[in-house]
Amino acid sequence: MIEKSDYTNSLNKRVFVLPIFEVKKDQKVPETKNELLLMLSRKDAFWFHEELCIRKWKTSERNSSELSVIEIGKRTNSFKTWEPFYIGTNAEPIFDERLSSEGRANKMTQAYAMCLLGYEYHILDNAFVVHKPGIKLLDENYVFSDLVKKQNELIYDKIVKEYIKYYGNRKECKVM
């Protein structure tokens, strides 16, 4: 639970973002932000995606254990393809089950719908997600696989059109 009031007092639609990290396979998952920062400095942990919150998250008050909002972002401009992990409610657009993680970009359509609706991303300090230990490497062949191509066709030929009809359009919102 957030110990301090959310200083924004925003009436806008919002979710609470958890920065994502990976740790080397031989490492223990960190339990605190301080442990994680030490692992980052030793290159035993890495940001999963270089995200909006890096600078502020790394330099915010390290000795605090309070959960608070340190930054507010939107999925526009240089962050137009951002697909953060977040804590939300049942009010957010649902995940499109026509898409699979094997076809890549499966979270992009939900983030796109949230952009169309004007969602804010409130980035939490002293909270984070760590993937299962082991660094994931990009398989260039997989990126251009038939499954990825088919899923991209579904996204651009059908889903984007449906979302614009349902949620409206904002030129600053991009699906990928």
Work out the pLDDT band at 133, boundaries 50, 70, 90: confident
Average pLDDT across the chain, whole number: 83
- Within-domain flag for 173: no
Q: In which region does residue 20 sit, left (phi positive, over 0), alpha (psi from -120 to 50) or beta (all else)?
A: beta
Alpha helix locations (H) across the chain?
A: 33-41, 54-59, 108-116, 140-143, 146-154, 160-167
Which long-range CB contacts under 8 A does 39-43 form with residues at least 24 apart?
none
Tell me the average pLDDT across 33-61.
Answer: 77
Threshold 0.85, pTM exceeds: no
- Within-domain flag for 9: no
Identify the domain containing residue 34 by its residue range. 14-167
- Within-domain flag for 83: yes
Number of domains in the chain: 1
Does an H or E element contain 123, and which? strand 120-125
- Within-domain flag for 7: no
- Within-domain flag for 126: yes
Work out the pLDDT band at 2, boundaries 50, 70, 90: very low
- Within-domain flag for 4: no
User: Quick one: what percent of the chain has pLDDT higher than 90?
Assistant: 39
SS3 145: coil
- Within-domain flag for 2: no
Work out the pLDDT band at 70, boundaries 50, 70, 90: confident
Q: In this predicted model, which residue has the larger pLDDT, 49 or 106?
A: 106
- Within-domain flag for 121: yes
